[in-house]
């Protein structure tokens, strides 16, 4: 089917990035959130990111203005439902996502495709709570969305070929690369990445190294662009913990047990960059390790 208008639910880091790339590719976008402040901040972020792209010659000033004009914002979920495709990019909690899809249901157009940007939750289970499991799939972008080239496409057990092909076409139109993943906990990227981060936290917890030495070791010894603890702060420690819990619960293997230190940081509200403290303290001019 032809997609002209896309709804994005959630105006946070992922949601505003998705709205950005969709608008640049020529789609009309309706972005919603429960907070007007979040929507205003998202539009400011999008304008700033587009301006940087224009300054580097990646897009023209005209294309930048046209992309911004394609994005509208709303506090009403019913506005998002009147689109060809919905991308849910809310908090990584299954109860929140289920409630969103249930609220959307009565307002959806008959042809609307539903997708979730979840990084780990079962697509089949989310789809089963809707009236269109055949038109539901995982549409997982990487962070930061305007920069990262990969999108994971995850089919639930009921997802039909037309839905998959439509989403694949969108990925190609926005200039990114699709990786098809089966619907098992955390899919491909986070199935590999987040246990590595969790192991780095165990390495810190057990005193094998401190924050700085662990990150330096992986950057210089494995040629990673960012150390695992620095990356955890960038992703959000609450998100990392949520993914580890999904893996541990879904696969029933003790190797996915979240590190107690990761749990403790989340309990403290030290969630990484977004809260000002995580494995690093970001409140000063230069990030300082907290352990």
What is the full DSSP assignment across 49-114? HHHHHHHTTSS-HHHHHHHHHTEEEES-HHHHHSSSEEEE---S-HHHHHHHHHHHGGG--TT-EE
Pick the catalytic residue from 32, 49, 116, 119: 119
Pick the catalytic residue from 117, 120, 140, 230: 140
pLDDT of 1 reads 78
Pick the catalytic residue from 120, 190, 198, 230: 190
pTM for the full predicted model: 0.89
Contact 211, 231 (CB under 8 A): no
Is there a binding annotation on residue 219?
Answer: no
Q: What is the pLDDT of residues 148-207, one digit of tens each?
A: 999 999 999 999 999 999 999 999 999 999 999 999 999 999 999 999 999 999 999 999
Contact 227, 255 (CB under 8 A): no
**Distance, CA of 211 to CA of 33 (rounded, Å):** 35
Contact 39, 75 (CB under 8 A): yes
Q: Is 180 a catalytic residue?
A: no
Q: Is 172 a catalytic residue?
A: no
Q: What is the pLDDT of residues 92-130, one digit of tens each?
A: 889 999 999 999 999 999 999 999 999 989 999 999 999
Is there a binding annotation on residue 5?
Answer: no
Is there a binding annotation on residue 119?
Answer: yes
Residue 249 has pLDDT above 90, yes or no: yes
Is there a binding annotation on residue 16?
Answer: no
Q: Is 119 a catalytic residue?
A: yes
**Distance, CA of 199 to CA of 120 (rounded, Å):** 18
- Tokens, residue 149: 């080239």
Is there a binding annotation on residue 26?
Answer: no
Q: Is 190 a catalytic residue?
A: yes
- Tokens, residue 247: 């893996």
Cis peptide before 144 (omega within 30 of 0): yes
Is there a binding annotation on residue 22?
Answer: no
pLDDT of 242 reads 92
Pick the catalytic residue from 20, 117, 122, 152: 152
């Amino acid at each position: 089917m032809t997609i002209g208008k896309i709804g994005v639910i959630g105006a946070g880091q992922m949601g505003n990035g998705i709205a950005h790339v969709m608008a640049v590719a020529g789609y009309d976008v309706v972005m919603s959130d429960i907070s007007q402040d979040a929507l205003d901040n998202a539009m400011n972020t999008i304008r700033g990111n587009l301006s940087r792209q224009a300054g580097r010659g990646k897009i023209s000033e005209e294309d930048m203005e046209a992309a911004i004009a394609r994005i509208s914002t709303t506090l009403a979920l019913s506005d998002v439902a009147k689109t060809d495709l919905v991308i849910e990019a809310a908090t990584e909690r299954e109860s929140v996502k289920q409630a969103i899809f249930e609220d959307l249901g009565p307002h959806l157009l008959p042809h609307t495709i539903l997708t979730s940007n979840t990084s780990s939750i079962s697509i089949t289970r989310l789809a089963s709570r809707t009236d269109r499991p055949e038109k539901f799939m995982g549409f997982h972008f990487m962070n930061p969305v305007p920069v990262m080239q990969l999108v994971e496409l995850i089919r639930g057990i009921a997802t039909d070929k037309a839905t998959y092909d439509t989403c694949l076409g969108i990925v190609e139109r926005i200039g990114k690369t699709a990786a098809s993943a089966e619907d098992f906990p955390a899919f491909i990227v986070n199935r590999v990445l987040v246990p590595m981060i969790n192991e780095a936290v165990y390495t810190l917890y057990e005193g094998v190294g401190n924050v700085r030495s662990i990150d330096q070791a992986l950057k210089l010894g494995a040629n990673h662009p960012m150390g695992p603890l620095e990356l955890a702060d960038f992703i959000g420690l609450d998100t990392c913990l949520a993914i580890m819990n999904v893996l541990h619960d879904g696969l029933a293997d003790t190797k996915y047990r979240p590190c107690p230190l990761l749990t403790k940081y989340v309990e403290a509200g030290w969630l990484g960059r977004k809260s000002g403290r995580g494995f690093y303290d970001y409140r000063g001019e230069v990030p300082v390790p907290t352990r």
